Structure 1
Amino acid sequence: MNKTLIVILVIAATIITIAITVDYGSNRTVDWTESYNEKSNKPYGVSVFYKELPKLFDGQLMKTIYYSPYNYFYANSEDGYGDHVAEGNYILVGNSDYLELADVEELLIFAGRGNTLFMSDYNFPQSLLDTLNLTVKVRKTQDSIVELNFVHPHLKPKNTQIDKSDSASYFSRFEAENHKTLGYVNNDLNSTNFLEVPFEDGKIFLHLEPKIFTNYNILKDDRYQYVEGVLSYLPNENIYFDSYTKFFDSNYGDAEEKSNLSWFLQQTSFKWAWYLALLLTFLFMVFNAKRRQRIIPIIKPLENTTVGFVKTISNLYYETQDHKNLIDKKITYFLEKIRSDYNLDTTNLNEEFITKLSQKSGKKIETVKKTINFINWLRTKNEFFEDNLLKLNRHIEEFYS
């Protein structure tokens, strides 16, 4: 056995010993943050619920919405730029406080056209409550237990309870003659927490305990049966799952930002095994490079042909029909120029942004609105064609003309 191999084995044994010692003494903590993120496997993520939805609504289309209701429904309406008209069930679980007045109005329009809106949260935007003539109150619970009960006798066997809850929300005011009570909490018929509200040609279902839809509760005992009972009120139609806040706000979960390797690096044993593998690979390369590495010839650096390179790459995208890449890049560069030229925040391309951009740029508001609405529409599409790219280019050229 040569000296090199002995050195490598000693280093490996030392690292393994340290890893075992650190892993043995480490304290693992559970993240109980209520993220309601459909990609999160943490206790209060909703990945299990999200994966089961296609089975519960068999044969129906399911779309995950990463845009605000105002932008999405505006694009996917009879008068919008979308490739379809949104119809079916809109489901929002947790984090409904992001909804602005324009979003609430679009959701009500969606429901009024014969569709179904389902929302589960501890409270709802005041504009929605005022429109439906509702009031929500919160009551402290005993022993951190909340009983969830159905009104319908066939669903009573699905009644359940959840733990780790120090309070329970209920509707203290609603129109009893028009609104239908579907469920209540803590065996108190006066504490309605699940309500059916007819709205024009559609229906709105409001539920006040979003934690029942999380991984922790669905996988514990038979609590999933209560979720099945709640969803049994929804028609078997297309599903639109709201994930706007979970996608854009890092406080609601990191599933969109981290790679698959991040989970392994959070596990001490896997982390040290990974680092050990990298170290051994590095040592192997170092000790073997002395004998096998050949003299590296000097290669004359290429001339600076930036413009030619850009033309080549753009032609490559265009000839390979990679319209999505070109559209994404044109939108990115256009918004970056707006930020640098006019010092505007381009996070939300809404009516307020359109007005500010028109004022600062001196462009007609019709021209600005047409350009921004077309960009919002493009962001809702998954498939792009040459015509989309040409129209985007014309809109941007018209804006700068």
Structure 2
Amino acid sequence: MKKEFPIILVIVVLIIFGAFALGIKRTKTIDWEESFNEKSTKPYGLSIFYRELPFLFDEYEIRTVYHQPHSYLAANSEDGWGDHVAKGNYIKIGNSDYLTPLSVHELLNFVNNGNTLFISDYYFAKEIQDTLDIDIGFEYNPSKDSISELSFTNKSLNFTKIDKNDGDYYFTDYDSISTTVLGHVKTDKKRTNFIHTSFGKGSIYLHLEPKVFTNYNLLKEDRYKYVESLLSYLPDNDVYLDSYSKYQTGYDGEVEQESNLSWFLDQLAFRWAWYTAIIFGLLFMIFNAKRRQRIIKIITPLQNTTVAFVKTISNLYFETKDYKNLIEKKITYFFEKIRTDYNLNTNELNEAFISKLAAKSGKKKNDVKTLINYIKLIQSKREYFEGNLVTLNKHIENFYS
């Protein structure tokens, strides 16, 4: 170890010197990309809006939607397999061009059932524009300072000004009978940029300046008051915020938020501290790979019990990620128990079967229907994931609890 110490010392000094030199030479550039990412701390990210949203809708639940709306809303509907029925306000800031025709249909159905849709973007999906009979235009900002003024028809609400604005998007055409003009944008002339229209039992609010929700504008002067006035039009209810990040797979349950490690890696000091810790860890492993004495393994006898055997087999399937086998066996054992305990035929999983099972088991029909519908859904899949197994297990445990 004494012979190795000088080598380790030289390596550590070189690493620290290199990190310091790179840190001095590196020039921090500001990324002005309009990502509208709710996790981004960059000027045109939405991290501040995302953090403050629970305070704007106090006492109501804020859910982040990481899936396509058609998948998420269909699952969390009256006849869906989700863990709740989606009701309230659906908010989308920027990036609405990803919306598929199926997602637009599901969003409009969501509104038709008495809910609210709020979208702030420069353009909207073609299906939305066609359904609501609207057109959008663009006018370059003639002012040298690129400043536009945003205001409301209701003069008691807060107006604001935004800079770094190359031009104004505005509504060139809309149904004046069913549409209410709520706000305007102005450079050389005033133009409509915020409207409301009723759709079925619900409401749709369309806004054409998503930059007001970004970190840069919320931190500048009192522009946040304009955003507060915008959201004051929405009813007090739960909020579904459409995420910048999207899982393209079908909805199988709530998705937990991703780690914030990326924020630390954006900070120069934290990033080099992280890299240095990894390098030191690797060096420690390399120089301690050779031990002075062989490790004497302690072999414990296997316990030949039924429970231990079952756990071993289960762990084997789980560790090899054989979710398909586990799911099929779990469904098979569940149906065998139904046939044994309640003397029911499980060949046809129809409405009559659900009613009989609910009656004999004493469970609520909706709970039984959710379980059977999820089993039918999962049997139709070709691929299985850990989330499918966890959700199935939760439904079955709820049935027996």
Structure 1 partner of 2:245: 246
Q: TM-score, normalised by structure 1?
A: 0.70
Taking a change above 3 Å as real, the CA distance of residues 57 and 258 of structure 1, as seen in their structure-2 partners, is closer
Q: TM-score, normalised by structure 2?
A: 0.70
Taking a change above 3 Å as real, the CA distance of residues 230 and 310 of structure 1, as seen in their structure-2 partners, is farther
DSSP-derived class of the 2:78 partner: coil
Higher percent of residues as helix = 1
1:384 aligns with 2:391: yes
Taking a change above 3 Å as real, the CA distance of residues 18 and 204 of structure 1, as seen in their structure-2 partners, is same
Structure 2 partner of 1:183: 183
Structure 1: distance between partners of 2:100 and 2:325: 25
Summarize the alignment of residues 1-400 of structure 1 with structure 2, pairs less than 5 Å apart: 8-142=8-142, 143=144, 144-155=146-157, 158-186=158-186, 190-243=190-243, 246-248=245-247, 260-280=260-280, 293-297=292-296, 312=311, 315=314, 329-330=323-324, 371=377, 384=391, 386=393, 388=395
Task: Give a deviation string over 1:314-364, Cα, whole Å, max 9, x none.
Answer: 63599xxx9xx9999339999xxxxxxxxxxxxxxxxxxxxxxxxxxxxxx
DSSP-derived class of the 1:191 partner: strand
Structure 2: distance between partners of 1:370 and 1:384: 13
Structure 2: distance between partners of 1:209 and 1:331: 50
Unpaired segments of 5 or more residues in structure 2? 249-255, 300-307, 329-372
Taking a change above 3 Å as real, the CA distance of residues 231 and 178 of structure 1, as seen in their structure-2 partners, is same
Structure 1: distance between partners of 2:322 and 2:242: 23
Count of aligned pairs: 337
Taking a change above 3 Å as real, the CA distance of residues 384 and 28 of structure 1, as seen in their structure-2 partners, is same
Task: Give a deviation string over 1:90-142, Cα, whole Å, max 9, x none.
Answer: 11111111222222222122112221110111011121111111111111113
CA contact (8 A) 1:111 1:203 kept: yes
Structure 2: distance between partners of 1:330 and 1:3: 54
Structure 2: distance between partners of 1:217 and 1:332: 51
Task: Give a deviation string over 1:140-168, Cα, whole Å, max 9, x none.
Answer: 1133322211121111xx21122222121
Structure 2: distance between partners of 1:240 and 1:232: 16
Structure 2 partner of 1:364: none
CA contact (8 A) 2:116 2:203 kept: yes
Structure 1: distance between partners of 2:274 and 2:36: 31
RMSD: 4.4
Structure 2: distance between partners of 1:181 and 1:233: 13
DSSP-derived class of the 2:117 partner: strand
Task: Give a deviation string over 1:179-225, Cα, whole Å, max 9, x none.
Answer: 11111111677511010112222111000011111122212221111
Measured after TM superposition, the shift of residue 19 of structure 1 is 2.3
Task: Give a deviation string over 1:51-83, Cα, whole Å, max 9, x none.
Answer: 211111111122111222222222222233333
Q: Which runs of 4+ in 1 moved over 6 A?
A: 285-290, 325-328, 331-334, 372-376, 378-383
Name the % identity: 46
2:391 corresponds to which letter in structure 1? Answer: F
Unpaired segments of 5 or more residues in structure 1? 250-255, 301-308, 335-366, 391-401
